[in-house]
Amino acid sequence: MNQIEAPRPRFAQIADILRDRIRRGVHAPGSPLPSEPELSREFDVSRVTINRAVGVLRSEGLVQVRRGRGAFVRSVPVITRVATRRHGARDAGRGAYDVELRRLGLDPSWTASVERVPASEQTAELLNVEVGCELVVRRRRYFANELPVQIADTYLSSELAEKAGVTEENTGPGGTYSRLADVGRGPVHFTEDVTCRGATSGEARFLEIEPNQPVFEILFVASDKENRPVAVTRHVMPGHQWRLRYDWTDEPEGQTE
């Protein structure tokens, strides 16, 4: 029997022990945690204390509670998003997300829908269009092994979206950026602003996380070779599920071998 001692709250100490077990593989990805009665007996505490301990792990994204079945260790490993290289995947005829997931041995899938909306003040500024003008927004919901892992909404001017043929759900091999390249507006310059914030209630419902659990919000702007913005994408990703990686070479300008 594990001994729980003062002065730290008992639920916090139990959460530490369970977290360590998960990281060591004692409770494997996708497996259930012991039931509340079992943990209550093991740690000699009330079920209320166990519930609070599991709540800590839920808020961290380590476990997911399934109604009527108990708490399960999340089964999808951390996904690394390499921002400086990911969009080259379209040259292979597949989207960046598809390539990222398959490298990890995961099964990628997504749903897509298309809407027409007026440009907000922020989106209009980023796309260099008038506030209120019509935009096409491509809304995608991404899954890994059928579990939701990302929300992504891409905004384009209606004129450019129609010219590139991306007003339908299926954009063909390589996705939206490949279709933009087909009409001479392929993105080659990229910027992204990353914010960490709490999930909204709608985001939490889709991503199956706790409300206000930390998420990454990435505001991604793609521009063509003349540095004209062609698309703005807002990604929302659970903080526990993703690792953001940026790599570069620090060399004096003009240096040669």
> CATH number for the domain including 175?
3.40.1410.10
**Residue 90: how many CB atoms within 10 A of its CB?**
23
Band of residue 87 on the pLDDT scale cut at 50, 70, 90: low
Between CA 33 and CA 50 the distance in angstroms is 11
What pLDDT, on the 0 to 100 scale, is given for residue 172? 84
For residues 123 and 233, membership in a common domain is answered with yes
In a domain, 257, yes or no: no
- The widest CA-to-CA distance across the chain, in whole angstroms, is 68
Give the E-state strand segments of 125-213 in sequence order. Answer: 134-144, 147-157, 189-198
For residues 18 and 118, membership in a common domain is answered with no
For residues 150 and 52, membership in a common domain is answered with no
For residues 126 and 219, membership in a common domain is answered with yes
Q: List all residues 6 or more positions away from 252 whose beta carbon is below 8 Å from its beta carbon.
A: none
What stretch of H or E contains 72?
strand 70-73
Residue ending a domain, choose from 57, 73, 89: 73
For residues 15 and 101, membership in a common domain is answered with no
Domain tally, the chain: 2
Residue in 47, 55, 42 with CA at minimum distance from that of residue 15:
55
What pLDDT, on the 0 to 100 scale, is given for residue 61? 84
In a domain, 4, yes or no: no
For residues 106 and 212, membership in a common domain is answered with yes
Find the mean pLDDT for residues 74-86: 83
- Structural domain including 49 reads 10-73
What pLDDT, on the 0 to 100 scale, is given for residue 78? 87
Between CA 124 and CA 134 the distance in angstroms is 10
In a domain, 250, yes or no: no
For residues 31 and 113, membership in a common domain is answered with no
In a domain, 5, yes or no: no
Rg (CA), the chain: 22
pLDDT at 90 over 60: no
The CATH number that applies at residue 46 is 1.10.10.10
Residue ending a domain, choose from 41, 73, 105: 73
pLDDT at 257 over 70: no
pLDDT digits 0-9 by tens, 134-187: 999 999 999 999 999 999 999 999 999 999 999 998 888 878 988 999 999 999
pLDDT digits 0-9 by tens, 23-79: 999 999 889 999 999 999 999 999 999 999 999 998 888 998 887 888 999 888 889
Residue in 257, 213, 253 with CA at minimum distance from that of residue 237:
213
For residues 164 and 183, membership in a common domain is answered with yes
pTM score: 0.82
